[in-house]
Structure 1
Amino acid sequence: MYMPSEHVEVKLTDCVGTIVLNRPDHGNALTRLMVRQLVEAFEDLYREKRVRAIILTGAADTFCAGNDLEEIVDASSLLSEWADSQERWGEDAADFRDVISRMLETPKPIIAAVNGAALSHGAGLVLACDIVVACEESVFGIPDPRRGIAAGVVAPLLSHRIGTGQAARLLLTSSIIDSAEAVRLGIFHELVEGDKTWARGVELARECAEGAPEALQLTKRLLSETIGEQLDTQLTAGAIIQATSFTTTAAEEGISAFLEERTPEWK
């Protein structure tokens, strides 16, 4: 059973379950604990019969800025060498893959109410949702390469959603695109005013709830099976690549430069 959390809040509103990423002072960046709690939250809302659809959103004016790089640096500093953290990097990547897989497999509609920036891991959470409503101020991007990291888990899902060509453009340039471009690419499905993303998400959830629960579950099952084993294999392979990228000196420099607000010096 999901335990109440300060940073991952779960709320019930009639037939709608809402998961709120609640670290606004850190851009709702995901800690290791939050990643594990997300899996539990989705699992519990799936089992809650009253819930017909799930909304994922962020507190304040950010959806999710990615994973908590400060936590990563703090953890690695406990070891003698950056690369010695490889086992931990592997666990982190596998845990995030599990979140994405849980979302894709959940037989209830999941709606992203994107109320601000959705970057890196936050972009991955958006891509794992079935319906995406965003505010006009929202931005989307995967700037991981500029931090010396390969976005191994997010990349296959981005390619599945928008095609290999556009995915390559966004990933290789580390572009952060505005909401209009995200709509054009099919990442966001509609735009609303900034303070209305959750409310619109509730409207969409209630529209979904007008369908028979069994029909919705079968439809999501069909969508999941259409994605198929190939994407699941790619997510697992991507998690390995992502973990490996964290062991490099490039990641050490890129993350340090990001936290120190300077330009990285690549070797």
Structure 2
Amino acid sequence: MMRAALLQSFIRESSPQAIPTSMQHVRVKVHAGVATITMDRPDSRNALDINLITDLQTAFSDVHQEKRVKAIVFVGSGNDFCSGIDLKVLAEIAALPQHESLEQWFALWREFTELLEQILRCPKVVVAAIDGTACGAGLALALASDMMVLSQRAKLSANAVNLGLVGGATTTLLEFRLGGAIASRLALSGDEIDADRTFAMGVCDTPVPVDQIWVAANELATRCTEAPLEAIQANKRLLNEGVGERLFSQLSAAAADSATACTTESATEGIRAFLENRPPQWP
């Protein structure tokens, strides 16, 4: 009943107000103290290129400074949350001269790591609404958020190993959020887990129907706005900077590992095989 009432209220009241922006791939709207940040590259399953990463950095910065916002719902447009780093971008970088490609890989992973740190340090509660796939770097975005709400068709995976890559940030955040045993299983096997399995692990509440994903995430975010903002900020700082005191240095090291791994023959073959839709032939 609460979710139905929330949805009706959302429809009945004035439309959510968009924050003025020049961003190309991200939309931001605010409703009743909750901002919704939407990744908007549905044709690529919201794959992360440098433009989307930069737009997300801008969006979280804008929302951080927006006084009327007390919590954030983080979603992807279309049928997926985020399919990870755009492998077309990695292939384009691989085609550059070696000294240029290494510099570009480091820049890409550094910018992505800075985005993760920005989400982790955001003083406002961030709820990731996961519909469809959250894969690789997309899973890292979900794990950097404070909480996740999953639709019944949501699927999570850390699949870098299957592409000959190193998902450094994803593995680091898996270990931080879910513990070493689960991180090892997902990062080393590349296995995909569905919403029911994620719920069984205690990562999320009961998965919801697809058409209820925003409502459920907004409901959770709204509940988190009922406490004093100072208390929320202090507790989040304790969780992400106190309990996870090594997290940020680990993320920096993970970015370097991911960039270095992109220079290997296995990574080149894994990326090419994925883009050519064929099984990889590992060197």
Give TM-score scaled by structure 2 length.
0.90
Deviations 1:89-139 (A, max 9, x none): 111111111111111111110000111110011100111111111101000
Match of 2:77 in 1: 59
Match of 2:203 in 1: 187
**SS of 2:204 mapped into structure 1:** coil
Distance 1:224 1:155 in 2: 16
- Tell me what 2:29 maps to: 11
Aligned residue runs from structure 1 range 197-212, under 5 A: 197-212=213-228
Determine whether 1:165 maps to 2:165.
no
2:93–2:105 contact (8 Å) kept in structure 1:
no
Aligned to 2:247: 231
Could you tell me how far apart the structure 2 residues matched to 1:238 and 1:194 are? Answer: 33
The secondary structure found in structure 2 opposite 1:153 is helix
Aligned equivalent of 1:76 = 94
Native 8 Å contact 2:49 2:86 kept in 1: yes
- Aligned residue for 1:115? 131
SS at match of 2:132: coil
* Equivalent residue for 1:148, pick from 164, 169, 182: 164
Q: Give a deviation string over 1:187-238, Cα, whole Å, max 9, x none.
A: 3344110111111111112111111122211221222222343111111111
Match of 1:261 in 2: 277
TM-score, with normalisation over the residues of structure 1? 0.95
Q: What's the RMSD between the two structures over aligned residues?
A: 1.5
Q: Tell me, what secondary structure is at the counterpart of 1:51? A: coil
- Tell whether the 8 Å contact from 1:2 to 1:37 is kept in structure 2 after alignment: no
| Structure 2: gaps (5+ residues) | 1-18
Relative contact order (alpha carbons < 8 A, sep ≥ 6): 1 or 2 greater?
1
2:15 is matched with which residue?
Answer: none
Mapped partners of 1:99, 1:218: distance in 2: 21
**Do the aligned partners of 1:93 and 1:153 also contact (CA within 8 Å) in 2?**
no
Alignment partner of 1:39 is 2:39: no
Amino acid at match of 1:211: A
1:217 to 230, 233, 241: 233
Q: Per the alignment, in what secondary structure is the counterpart of residue 249 of structure 2?
A: helix
Q: Which amino acid aligns with 2:50?
A: R
SS at match of 1:209: coil
| 1:25 counterpart residue number | 43
AA aligned to 2:56 is L
Deviation sequence 1:158-177 (CA, Å, 0-9, x none): 01111111111111101111
Instruction: Tell which deviates more after alignment, 117-126 or 223-232.
Output: 223-232
Q: For residues 87 and 229 of structure 1, what CA distance do their matches in structure 2 show? A: 29
Secondary structure of the 2:246 match is helix
* SS of match in other structure, 1:140: strand
Q: How much has 1:60 moved relative to structure 2?
A: 1.5
Unpaired segments of 5 or more residues in structure 1?
none
